[in-house]
Amino acid sequence: MDDKTAWSDARLLTAVADGDRRALEIVYGRHAPWLVLRLGRRCADPAVVDEAVQDTFVAVWRTAGKWTGKGDPAAWIWGIGIRRLLDLLRRRPVAVAPAYEQVMVSAEEQVLLGVEYGDLGRALGALSPELRAVVQATVLDGLTTREAGKLLGIPTGTVKTRMMRAKALLREELA
């Protein structure tokens, strides 16, 4: 019997796409801990983070066949996770309860929502997927160029070049 714990993430995602629950358990075990940490930096409510992580892996189960095989599976999972968090934050009630019961929204949560819906969101949306991925990894996720390169499956120099192009395009779009 093949030990799936030794399989690559790419091979596991292929198995998940074929309905292999054990493969999903292994993907979850590998990726849920860092996903909780990264999403936790963006949202002060652990219950919302936990729900986003669970929603992420439900989406992985349902859409593993849509992973193109390009880039790092962790980057694909992160993309799902951050979108799930933003969806949950959008649905949160903001000043409906009395002041002493209001949900506190962190500054980072407000920025994330602004990135999604404001002028910056529109400007980011105008970037090519390759440039947008670099901006998201380095600026929004706070990764170094080396970490972003590893996550995106591209050389560090390419990350730097794409970031310079993205900055120039964003300046033009936001001017």
Mean pLDDT for the stretch of residues 15-28: 95
Express each pLDDT in 143-154 by its tens digit.
Answer: 788 878 877 778
pLDDT at 42: 80
pLDDT at 115: 58
pLDDT at 96: 46
Q: How far is CA 17 from CA 48, 116, 128, in A?
A: 27, 29, 27
pLDDT at 4: 86
pLDDT at 107: 56
Q: Which residue has the higher pLDDT, 34 or 142?
A: 34
Express each pLDDT in 74-101 by its tens digit.
Answer: 888 988 998 898 888 877 765 444 444 4
pLDDT bin (cut points 50, 70, 90) of residue 54 is very high
Express each pLDDT in 63-73 by its tens digit.
Answer: 998 887 777 88
**Distance separating the N- and C-terminal Cα atoms of the chain:** 60
Q: With b meaning 16 or more CB within 10 Å and e meaning fewer, what string describes 6-35?
A: ebebeebbbbbbeebeebbebbbebbbeeb
Structure tokens belonging to residue 126 = 């105008």
Mean pLDDT for the stretch of residues 48-66: 94
pLDDT at 53: 97
pLDDT at 138 over 70: yes
pLDDT at 95: 46
Domains and CATH numbers, the chain: 8-91 (1.10.1740.10), 118-175 (1.10.10.10)
Total-model pTM: 0.60
